[in-house]
Amino acid sequence: MLERRSPLHQGMALHMSDASTAGLRVLAVLHSASGAAAEQAVLWPLCAQLQRLGQKVLVLDGSQAESFHTPGLAQMLAQHAWQAQAGLRTSVGDAQSVASLPARVGLKQLKASADEMGLDMLTALQAYVRSYTTVIIYASSETLTPLLQGQGLQPLLVVPPDSEHLLESYRQLKHLAVFAGVECTIAALEAPLTADGPQKYDWSRKQSSSQTAKQNAQTRLQRLNALLQCSQRHLGDAPVLMRLRWRQASDLHQLTLHMLKTACILPMHAQPTAAAAPESLVWSH
């Protein structure tokens, strides 16, 4: 786990209280198959922080496909909005869990639903998830592109500890900059510290393993800086880079506060009345 419990950052609570009645808060986290483990090591602690602030969080998981046995967003879009809202209501016993819904197919179908309703895609989505205050869309850059166009939202790109993912990270940055016109926030996840104990020897480099770890960290920092410079030169702006050290709650607090500031907030509208409550589609994490 990335998270270690500590008192909440005061600015986070103030920011939440200011926007708690403003409407639906939408955040986005980029998904790639090769970086999924690192992404989820950040995603779920981030959700937990938001839950601790009193938010009802729903994750639309674009990495998971809907099916007959695991229904999700696609099945929800096939219902009337009021039916979907009733199905999404969580029980009191689920209050401490983060609700998660498979959404790979549904996110691609959302445009058709939005066109039928005469709304943009996020506003159309809002009609189906009114029982939640914060929705996090976890999906690929290609899936997020039509959702983010024209929205004041900075998606989060998690960079795993190893340097091999930096080319894929730049590809995602470029895709969103060119096709959606949005900038990203980069969360650079650092590897866990080496446990205390006898020093190990790196025979391949003929030096201690701690020295190798320091060299790897320096190389990664240089490559991250190169990524920022390349983005500045070719995409017109450098993304915000945030450091995420293992089990450092202060880093997670700062990231959460930044995500709150860069989220898209959709104003509340009148809700239709539900006549009946279908079976809930939501999975808890």
Q: Which of 8-22, 77-91, 172-186, 207-221 has the highest mean pLDDT?
A: 172-186
Q: Hey, what long-range contacts does 30-34 have (CB within 8 A, 24 or more apart)? A: 30/139, 30/140, 30/141, 30/144, 30/155, 30/156, 30/157, 30/158, 30/172, 30/184, 31/62, 31/63, 31/138, 31/139, 31/140, 32/140, 32/165, 32/168, 32/172, 34/165, 34/168
Phi, psi (rounded to 5 degrees) for 62: -75, -5
- Encoded amino acid at 273, one letter: T
Q: How far is CA 251 from CA 41, 106, 187, 214, in A?
A: 13, 33, 10, 20
- Arithmetic mean of pLDDT, 11-27: 65
Helices 141-148 and 166-179 pack at an angle, to 10 degrees, of 30
- Cα separation values, 99 from 10, 47, 57, 274, Å: 25, 10, 6, 21
* CA angle at 77 for the pair 74 and 80, rounded to the nearest 5°: 150
Q: Tokens standing for 80? A: 């009337």
pLDDT digits (tens, 9 = 90+) for 47-99: 999 999 889 999 999 999 999 999 999 999 988 665 555 555 543 345 567 89
Domains of the chain, earliest start first: 13-161+245-284 (3.40.50)
Contact 75, 257 (CB under 8 A): no
218-274 pLDDT, tens per residue?
Answer: 777 888 888 899 999 999 888 999 999 887 899 999 999 999 999 999 997 645 444
23: tokens are 């409407």
State the pTM of this model.
0.83
